[in-house]
Amino acid sequence: MSSYTGQQLITDAMKELGILASGESPSTDESNDGLIVLNKLIDSWSVEQIIVPVEQKVTVATGGAGPFTTARPLKIKAAYCSSGNISSPVEVCSAEQWAQIIDESRSGTYATKMYCDYAYPTSNVYVWPAATASLTLITFAPLSVFATLSTSIDLPPGYARGLTMNLAVDLATQFGRLDLAQGMMALALQSKGVIISTNKAIFGDNTMPGDPLPQHPAAPGADLKKAA
C-alpha cells in the first residue's frame, strides 16, 4: 500500500483534466470543493462494494451491549477466539440463526457463535456463549473518507489511479467542463474496473451480508447474551 493525501489526489485529478499545469496548485476554494467531491466519490464506491480488507481485534466484554466502535464493516468474513496460543473458530451468524439460540446462560473461555447488527454508523457485535477469550474479526471495510486535505490514507495498488481518474470526471462536471468529462470517462471506467475485478478475484462476487442490514439498536436476546 502507498499513502496519499486528499490534496494529492485532487491536484493530480485537476492535472489530468488540464485545469492545472505541472507545478501549479489549486486554490484554497478549489481544494476545499475538491475534497467534498472526493469524499462523495468514496461514499459511492462503498455502496458499490469497492472495499479494503481489514483485520480488526475486538476484546470480548463481560456483559452489556457494547458497540463495535470502528466504521461499520461491509461484511464480517470470518471470526475466531484466542486465548494464549490457542485459537478457536467462531461461526458468523445471520439474525435468524442468532435468534435460534435457546440456552443464553452459557459461558466459557471461547465463544462459538457471533452476530453483528451492521448498525450505522457503528455496529454492535454479540457473542455466544459469554467468553473470556479475545475475539478477532476478519472484515471487509469501506474506504475511509479524507477528514481534511492533509489527511493521509493508505491505498492498495490501483486505488490511487482509480480515485484520481474518477475524481477527474466528477471535477470536470463541477467546473462545468463536460467536454473534458466525456474524454476521461473511458479511462475512469477502466481504472475502476481493474479494482472491481481484483476484489472479485480475491474476495468473491458477494462481499455484502446475505441478509438485509438490520438497524435495530440491539440484537435478539442482547439483554442475556454477552456483547463484544
pTM over 0.85: no
Residue 61 pLDDT exceeds 80: no
CA dihedral 28, 179, 4, 42 (to 10 degrees): 100
What is the separation of C-alpha 120 from the centre of its chain, rounded to a whole number of angstroms? 12
Task: Pick the range with the lowest mean pLDDT from 15-19, 32-36, 38-42.
Answer: 15-19
Residue 189 pLDDT exceeds 60: yes
Q: What is the pLDDT of residue 221?
A: 45
156 within 8 A of 1, measured Cβ to Cβ = yes
Q: What is the mean pLDDT of residues 127-140?
A: 82
Angle (CA) 162-168-170 rounded to 5° is 105
11 within 8 A of 26, measured Cβ to Cβ = yes
Q: 173 vs 20, which has greater pLDDT?
A: 20
Q: What is the mean pLDDT of residues 137-145?
A: 82
Name the maximum alpha-carbon separation found in the chain. Answer: 67
Query: Coil, strand, or helix at residue 137?
Result: strand
Nearest to 5 by CA among 164, 168, 141: 164
- Cα–Cα separations (whole angstroms), residue 209 to 153, 185, 206, 215, 223: 26, 31, 8, 14, 24
Residue 69 pLDDT exceeds 60: no
